[in-house]
Amino acid sequence: MRAPREIAHRLFAEEFNSSTVELEPEGEFSPGHVLTPLGLCVNRVLVVGVITDVENISTSGDPLWRARLSDPTETYYISAGKYSPEAAGALARITPPAFAAVVGKVRVYRPEEGVVYLSLKAETVVPSTAALRDYWVLEACRSLKKRIELAEEAMGLEKPTVEALVSLGASRSQAEGLILALKRYGPPDLERFRAMLESCLRYVLPEMNGRAGEEEEAFAIPGEKEGPGEMASEEAEEPGDDEVPGYSKEEEAKVIKIVESLQTGTKGAPWEKIVERAKKEGLSKETVDQIVMDLMESGVLYEPSIGRIRKT
């Protein structure tokens, strides 16, 4: 009898990439898991972010596509080949940078003792939007907040046990995961994870991500557990041809030039610096918000990390 399909967790890349403990399958059909430092047992992940790079690392006749997908914290490494042809085909059609929703199974590679590389083997890849990425960030924040609070409760106990955490309101799987994480990793760095949570919550504020005035679009998405298929349907709403931007082509070109002048290496230009420079050149913050948002939607600009904008 096959095990039930695993939940696709909303999990930030930074916590995922911090994981070094692999839990072996307990039975013939039991899937393996990765245990995060905050006690989340992960077999599958749903992530929405920006695909910044795609390449075929095999042959044209037997392609194996590899991609990098950035969320507000770090980067997921994703692959898809002949065993997941639909996901592979979707990756092949993507031109970075582009928003995408990916459901993938965790893969662990240990090239040598003490070295662990994690990636996702994509099951589904669909185009997405900035608004859906923001919604995913909020969902991932809710999940992260629960793990932080449970870890705080556990570390306040003299001898934390599964039963003690269950009596505090945790589910048994949450309690078992955290107790195992405390044994394998030791006490988690809660300050680091609190800072990550705070940074990600700030990230979805319109005034921080350049989408001021788009609150309704960003958060009016029904269904807490909708999958990437439903997410894709939201993308069908495109601006009408008769919509005219509230800025000129000259102002748009000016913002692009500012971003190019402030970005360095692979890093994007700091958002605050973009606004500061634009104000000196006669552009209001609201105008810059709108221009950057539109250019990100069209793929001219993208956001490689929190608060930074880069030209494609």
Question: What is the mean pLDDT of the segment spanning 120-136?
Answer: 93
Q: Which residues contact 153 (CB under 8 A, 6 or more apart)?
A: 165, 168, 170
Confidence band, pLDDT 50/70/90 cuts, at residue 3: low
Backbone φ and ψ of 116, nearest 5°: -130, 130
- pLDDT tens-place string over residues 32-65: 899 999 999 999 999 999 999 999 998 888 899 9
Give the amino acid at 142.
R
- pLDDT tens-place string over residues 6-30: 789 999 999 999 999 998 776 655 6
What is the value of pTM for the model shown? 0.68
Name the pairing type of β-strands 115-127 and 75-80.
parallel
Calculate what percentage of the chain has a pLDDT beyond 70. Answer: 79
- pLDDT tens-place string over residues 268-278: 888 888 888 99
| Angle made by CA atoms 275, 292, 127, in degrees to the nearest 5 | 145
Mean pLDDT estimate for the chain = 83
CB distance 298 to 287 below 8 Å: no
Question: Does residue 216 register a pLDDT over 70?
Answer: no
CB distance 268 to 310 below 8 Å: yes
Query: Whole-angstrom distance between the N-terminal and C-terminal Cα of the chain?
Result: 49
Residue with tokens 């921080």: 208
- pLDDT tens-place string over residues 169-204: 999 999 999 999 999 999 999 999 999 999 999 888
Q: What is the pLDDT of residue 5?
A: 67
DSSP of 185-247, one letter per residue? H-S--HHHHHHHHHHHHHHTSHHHHT-TT-HHHHH----TT--HHHHHHHTT----TT---SS
19: left (phi over 0), alpha (psi -120 to 50) or beta: beta
